[in-house]
């Protein structure tokens, strides 16, 4: 209506006279016939003089008010003028700005409504179609957004911005190939279009083509060297590629341009964490939350880094902060559960995993982690149930099959364990941990040839040691020494290598360097703890509580006759109850190191700077005994004798440590030592030694707390 009024004003504007008065103009019909006047009016209109044509038609209508040809002529003039005005493509600047403001303020539906109205008046407005497309995209109406951009391109086929924006919508829709094609069209029109290069990088990255994505970001940066988002996105692509140093460098360049970019600090923290630089990662996360105090993800990942660093309490506090900021953050509950499990608070960890499931009932990781916690608690059947729940949600969850197999193995169901391991390997053929675990199972089942196949496939450090062990057991002397020489040349120090080196020297009479301990029988220590501590209160009562109250279930132990062994790690499962015991063991271990501080054996010189203590209880009844074995995961092994019944024979129930389980002819007959143990005895010895117990006869149970010093740099299964 407004435009029509403006046209009327133009039509009514009088032609000014020279003397300031309006002269009387003669009627055209005074000199022309009606048909001639009509033809003249049409001629004027066609010649681009609508004003003159209108005057002629008005003259005709002055004489013949109902003349149809004159009325139609006037009507065609008005329509023509309106059509001419409609060629104005863009709305006035103030209307455009109001539309843009609505979009920028996040009032997307209002922006769409306004765009719809404006398009009625300005159907060829590129600006309006562009904003309409962006608003639709913001509301998730991607097909409508693409339609808006296509309308803009019909009007202006070389509209690079429309191609770029349409590419964004296509990418968000998941049509990456079409998005890349759209960005390429934008760049063909506008070769220096940095945004299009950046956006194409995102699409290429989403398509898995990291090299091309990085090149695209680099092109954007050549055009626009201070393009902070291109540096950021390039860093992500480099991080995905595994080039952590280059990723960190790209993030640092982004921060140099924009020092308050919290998300860059967050991603750089992730890269530093992946690199293993925990201190720097934590520092980066702290900078992210300083800039953006409500950055829940940064707090949660900082908690993970703190946990990896060993700061359990700080880790838990960081996860709590993340949850306080974002109470529906399921992953934060998962991370909190992991921190609590690392601390040994298994029930609390399970509570957090279950809270995550309340938020996301289909979260397979939560069921998987509950399975781990229940397994450590010794509730093996419930653990299997949770692994199965994880597999219902994610049938490709190889880790769940692997962990379930270890439980089935502990329960003695070898066939089911093998089947579960094989399922894991169908999903992940290169799953090193499963190859290792299946190798251990086959090794325990005396299937050494098959075991070697899996150990060789695994890249775990201990896998190659078990290959050595399989070759020794199969008496493959030449292959055994090839493997042993290779390990010695690489300066590998490990109890399994040390044990097999000593055993092979007895069997084959060939002396080789032993980097762990050449004379392990010289490093046996025995103390009486009852002379130094309140043994009854600290050890005996604690063991009785655990056993009598069934706080930890027993596991299947094929080496044990007429006895039971607790499952899992006693000190993690009953951390608070065993805290004094752990302190005493650590103190005695330090004394052991002092006693042998002048030794040049690798056992002492290569002592791990950081270690854990893993323990379990063994209870035997009359006639019970433990067959020869070694603890491959330990550095030194130990046993505390909670109750040793009176000996019917001189060595009843005693501990025997030995180099080889079978007596072999050798230069030295010093192959074993019998250690006379009584209630209160503590024995420590290199983990490279085999050990077993002599059967006993008694009405009392023989109860022992066994433990290993486990280096934290070893991967322990």
DSSP 367-421: HHHHHHHHHHHT-HHHHHHHHHHHHHH-TT-HHHHHHHHHHHHHTT-HHHHHHHH
pLDDT band at 471 (very low <50, low <70, confident <90, very high): very high
Q: 431 lies in a domain?
A: no
Distances (CA, A) of 390 to 40, 367, 386, 394, 491: 88, 5, 6, 6, 42
Q: Specify the pLDDT at position 342.
A: 83
pLDDT digits (tens, 9 = 90+) for 606-625: 999 889 999 999 999 999 99
The long-range contacts involving 499-503, CB below 8 angstroms and separated by at least 24 positions, are: 499/630, 499/659, 499/688, 499/689, 499/690, 500/468, 500/469, 500/472, 502/659, 502/660, 502/688, 503/472, 503/659, 503/660
Distances (CA, A) of 238 to 178, 219, 302, 486: 24, 15, 21, 36
pLDDT band at 578 (very low <50, low <70, confident <90, very high): very high
Q: 640 lies in a domain?
A: yes
Q: Specify the pLDDT at position 669.
A: 54
Residue 691 · residue 653 · CB < 8 Å: no
Look at residues 321, 298, 319 and name the one whose alpha carbon lies nearest to residue 307: 319
Q: 699 lies in a domain?
A: yes
Helix, strand, coil % (nearest 5) of the chain? Answer: 60, 10, 30
Domain-ending residue, one of 86, 120, 141: 86
CA distance 617 to 622: 17
CA distance 188 to 575: 66
pLDDT band at 40 (very low <50, low <70, confident <90, very high): confident
CA distance 493 to 581: 29
The burial of 489, by beta-carbon neighbours within 10 Å (0-12 exposed, 13-18 middle, 19 or more buried), is given as: exposed
Q: What is the CATH number of the domain that holds 628?
A: 2.60.120.620
Residue 164 · residue 220 · CB < 8 Å: no
CA distance 551 to 547: 7
Domain-ending residue, one of 86, 121, 146: 86
Q: 129 lies in a domain?
A: no
The owner of tokens 């089942």 is 445
Residue 203 · residue 183 · CB < 8 Å: yes
CA distance 337 to 359: 15
Domain-ending residue, one of 26, 58, 86: 86
Q: Specify the pLDDT at position 1.
A: 27
Check residue 163 and report its DSSP letter.
Answer: H
Q: 631 lies in a domain?
A: yes
Number of domains in the chain: 2
Relative to beta strand 681-686, strand 672-675 is unpaired
CA distance 594 to 563: 35
Sign of CA dihedral 408, 413, 414, 419: negative
Which two tokens mark 686? 């290199």
CA distance 137 to 142: 5
CA distance 231 to 211: 15
The alpha-carbon radius of gyration of the chain (Å, integer) is 42
Q: 320 lies in a domain?
A: no
Q: 611 lies in a domain?
A: yes
Q: Specify the pLDDT at position 78.
A: 59
pLDDT digits (tens, 9 = 90+) for 594-610: 999 999 999 999 999 88
Answer yes or no: is pLDDT of 706 > 90.
Answer: yes
Residue predicted with more confidence, 588 or 39:
588
The owner of tokens 């090299």 is 211
Q: 441 lies in a domain?
A: no
By residue range, what is the domain housing residue 37?
2-86
Global pTM reads 0.71
């Amino acid at each position: 209506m407004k435009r029509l009024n403006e046209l009327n004003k133009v039509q009514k504007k009088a032609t000014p006279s020279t003397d300031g008065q309006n002269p009387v103009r003669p009627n055209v019909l005074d000199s022309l016939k009606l048909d001639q006047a009509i033809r003249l009016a049409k001629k004027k209109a066609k010649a681009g003089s609508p004003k003159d044509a209108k005057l002629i038609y008005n003259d005709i209508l002055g004489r013949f008010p109902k003349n149809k040809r004159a009325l139609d002529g006037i009507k065609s003039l008005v329509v023509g003028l309106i059509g001419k005005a409609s060629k104005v493509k863009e709305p006035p600047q103030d209307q455009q700005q109001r539309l843009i403001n609505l979009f920028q303020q996040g009032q997307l539906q209002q922006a769409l409504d306004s765009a719809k109205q404006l398009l009625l008046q300005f159907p060829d407005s590129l600006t309006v179609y562009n904003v309409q497309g962006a608003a639709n995209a913001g509301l998730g109406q991607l097909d409508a957004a693409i339609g808006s951009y296509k309308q803009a391109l019909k009007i202006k086929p070389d509209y690079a911005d429309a191609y770029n924006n349409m590419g964004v919508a296509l990418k968000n829709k998941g049509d990456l190939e079409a998005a890349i094609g759209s960005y390429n069209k934008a760049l063909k029109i506008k070769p220096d279009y940095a945004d299009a290069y950046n956006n194409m990088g995102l699409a290429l990255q989403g398509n898995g083509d990291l090299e091309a994505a990085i090149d695209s970001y680099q092109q954007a940066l050549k055009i626009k060297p201070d393009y902070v988002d291109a540096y950021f996105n390039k860093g992500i692509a480099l991080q995905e590629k595994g080039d952590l140093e280059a990723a960190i460098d790209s993030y640092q360049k982004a921060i140099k341009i924009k020092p308050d970019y919290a998300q860059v600090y967050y991603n750089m923290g992730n890269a530093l964490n992946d690199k293993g630089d925990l201190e720097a990662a934590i520092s980066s996360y702290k900078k992210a939350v300083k800039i953006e105090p409500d950055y829940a993800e940064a707090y949660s990942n900082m908690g993970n880094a703190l946990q990896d660093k060993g700061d359990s309490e700080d880790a838990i506090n960081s996860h709590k902060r993340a949850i306080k900021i974002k109470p529906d953050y399921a992953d934060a509950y998962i991370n909190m559960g992991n921190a609590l499990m690392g601390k040994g608070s298994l029930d609390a960890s399970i509570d957090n995993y279950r809270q995550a499931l309340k938020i996301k009932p289909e979260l397979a990781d939560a069921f998987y982690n509950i399975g781990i916690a229940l397994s450590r608690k010794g509730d093996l059947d419930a653990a299997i149930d949770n692994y199965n729940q994880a597999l219902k949600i994610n049938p490709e969850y190889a880790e769940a099959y692997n962990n379930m197999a270890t439980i089935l193995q502990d329960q003695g169901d070898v066939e089911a364990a093998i089947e579960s391991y094989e399922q894991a390997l169908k999903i992940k053929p290169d799953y090193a941990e499963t190859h290792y675990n299946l190798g251990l199972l086959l090794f325990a089942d005396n299937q050494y040839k098959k075991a070697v196949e899996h150990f060789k496939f695994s890249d775990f450090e201990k896998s190659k040691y078990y290959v050595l062990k399989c070759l020794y057991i199969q008496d493959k002397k030449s292959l055994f020494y090839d493997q042993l020489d290779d390990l010695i040349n690489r300066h590998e120090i490990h109890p399994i290598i040390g044990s097999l080196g000593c055993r092979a020297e007895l069997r084959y009479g060939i002396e080789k360097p032993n980097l762990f301990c050449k004379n392990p029988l010289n490093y046996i220590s025995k103390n009486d703890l009852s002379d130094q501590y309140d043994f009854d209160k600290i050890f005996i009562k604690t063991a009785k509580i655990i056993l009598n109250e069934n706080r930890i279930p027993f596991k299947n132990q094929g080496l044990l006759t007429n006895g039971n062994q607790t499952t899992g790690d006693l000190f993690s499962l009953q951390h608070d109850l065993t805290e004094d015991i752990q302190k005493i063991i650590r103190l005695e271990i330090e004394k052991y190191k002092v006693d042998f501080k002048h030794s040049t054996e690798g056992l002492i010189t290569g002592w791990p700077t950081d270690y854990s203590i893993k323990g379990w209880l063994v209870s035997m009844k009359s006639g019970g005994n433990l067959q020869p074995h070694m603890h491959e995961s330990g550095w030194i092994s130990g046993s505390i004798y909670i109750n040793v019944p009176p000996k019917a024979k001189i060595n009843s129930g005693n501990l025997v440590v030995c180099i080889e389980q079978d007596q072999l002819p050798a230069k030295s007959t010093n192959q074993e030592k019998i250690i006379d143990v009584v209630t209160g005895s503590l024995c420590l010895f290199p983990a490279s030694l085999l050990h077993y117990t002599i059967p006993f006869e008694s009405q009392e149970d023989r109860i022992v707390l066994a433990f290993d010093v486990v280096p934290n740099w070893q991967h322990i299964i």
